[in-house]
Amino acid sequence: MRFIFKTRYDQDINLFPHGGAVFWYSLLAVTLLSVPLIVTPFYVGELSFLFIWSLAGLSLMVLTGYTGLISIGHAAFLGIGAYVHAYLVRHGVPFIPAILCGGFAAAAAGLVIGIPAIRMRGLYLAIATLAFSAIAEEVFVRWETLTGGSRGVPVPKPQFLGIEIDNEIGFYYLCLAILVLCILGIVNLLRAPTGRAWIAIRDSEIAAQSMGVNLAGYKALAFAVSAFLAGIAGGLFAHKVGYLTPDIFTPILSIQLLMLVMVGGVGSIHGAIFGAIFLVLLPTVISIARDYLPAAIGQQPALEPGIYGLILVLVVLLEPLGLNGLWLKIKFFFSQFPMYKSATFKRQKTYMRTERLQ
């Protein structure tokens, strides 16, 4: 068992809680940097997909996991980022300004939704994001100069500092770098007053407000930051798929993102990564499972969304903290070895009647 003796206040906001964490994260960094030298390009491509999903999951995690605002329309932000980035890249704008513009365009859209969100409770907000994504879907089909309509648009290869990145390995490092930068940015935000305010809002709006947290400002900020990250993920995604059509950014993508956050574990950055790993592996698992299921079920195209729904339901019912919660429990079991009590993780019930008062 590890005891951390705190002798300085700074220790509360250290990036790494103890030396062991530094060791493991360095090991992870070395592994990730050397992976493309070892595995085949196919797996490198899958890993860059994983990084893009992680980034999208991180964006929803900021909003849902840390601020407690539900977005059922995150696909729209991804789509805005992807289309704006693709448009700019096609017109010769370099990679970095283009992807930042994509991010800022999504952030602006996030503010448009976020500002009314100030006045809305969680439920109304969820409905508003759903409506917003339905409108965005229609706009993607209609606005042909930007999106090429339902025919779609091709996305050129990324050009980074004048060098065209046309192989999987280069793109892998690009995605990895952007993901690490974004995670560091979010980790820093979360240990700063901004993140503390978000978490306070998530846990109780009334308490946060009485501690002097500006609810409106921080909620809108959470929306903007989340949409910005989603926009960046969208830009990378555009390069990854190479061709954008409006039917990529459908409600099912939003639901996949929600599933990512739920399965990974609400309220932790590890959760976003775990969820992304799960989501990348799932289609493979489903396609293997199809062979073992009876043909009447196994060959149905609707099997995949059905399994997504089932997983969502099971996670909510059985393990609301997701994979990250499971991981924490296992760690806790071994660190406390003979003394583990399952009651430690018992969830406190809050009856929703009181929420009406907020």
CA distance 15 to 27: 16
- Ordered alpha helix ranges (H), the chain: 19-38, 41-60, 74-90, 95-117, 122-142, 144-147, 168-191, 193-203, 205-210, 215-241, 251-264, 269-292, 295-298, 303-318, 322-335
Question: 148 is written with which tokens?
Answer: 């090429």
Shortest distance, CB of residue 306 to other proteins, whole angstroms? 3
311 binding other proteins? (CB under 8 A): yes
Shortest distance, CB of residue 164 to other proteins, whole angstroms? 37
Question: 115 is written with which tokens?
Answer: 């500002």
| 3-class state of residue 160 by DSSP | strand
Per DSSP bridges, beta strands 153-154 and 159-160 are: unpaired
Nearer to other proteins, 172 or 274 (CB): 274
Shortest distance, CB of residue 304 to other proteins, whole angstroms? 8
Q: Cβ(47)–Cβ(171) under 8 Å?
A: no
Binding other proteins (rule: CB under 8 A), the pick from 18, 22, 119, 345 is: 119
287 binding other proteins? (CB under 8 A): no
Binding other proteins (rule: CB under 8 A), the pick from 16, 29, 320, 335 is: 320
Binding other proteins (rule: CB under 8 A), the pick from 313, 331, 336, 344 is: 313
| 3-class state of residue 271 by DSSP | helix
Interacting stretch for other proteins, rule CB under 8 A, among 27-35, 171-179, 180-188, 258-266? 258-266
Shortest distance, CB of residue 106 to other proteins, whole angstroms? 17
22 binding other proteins? (CB under 8 A): no
Q: Strand pairing partners for 78?
A: none
346 binding other proteins? (CB under 8 A): no
Shortest distance, CB of residue 165 to other proteins, whole angstroms? 36
Question: 311 is written with which tokens?
Answer: 């997983």
CA distance 245 to 334: 48
Interacting stretch for other proteins, rule CB under 8 A, among 19-27, 68-76, 156-164, 269-277? 68-76
Cβ atoms < 10 Å from Cβ of 294: 7
Nearer to other proteins, 97 or 309 (CB): 309
Restricted to residues 129-168, the positions that interact with other proteins (CB under 8 A) are 130-132, 134-135, 138, 141-142
- Residue of 306, 345, 343, 309 whose CA lies nearest to 325: 345
Interacting stretch for other proteins, rule CB under 8 A, among 86-94, 172-180, 229-237, 307-315? 307-315
Nearer to other proteins, 168 or 205 (CB): 205
122 binding other proteins? (CB under 8 A): yes
Shortest distance, CB of residue 333 to other proteins, whole angstroms? 24
Give me the residue label for tokens 């969680």: 122
76 binding other proteins? (CB under 8 A): no
Binding other proteins (rule: CB under 8 A), the pick from 47, 56, 63, 72 is: 72
350 binding other proteins? (CB under 8 A): yes
| 3-class state of residue 183 by DSSP | helix
Q: Strand pairing partners for 244?
A: 153
283 binding other proteins? (CB under 8 A): no
- Residue of 284, 259, 282, 255 whose CA lies nearest to 271: 259
CA 281 from centroid of its chain's CA atoms: 16
Contact residues for other proteins, defined by CB under 8 A: 64, 68, 70, 72, 116, 119-124, 126-128, 130-132, 134-135, 138, 141-142, 206, 252, 255, 258, 262, 266, 297, 300-306, 308-313, 315-317, 320, 347, 349-353, 355-358
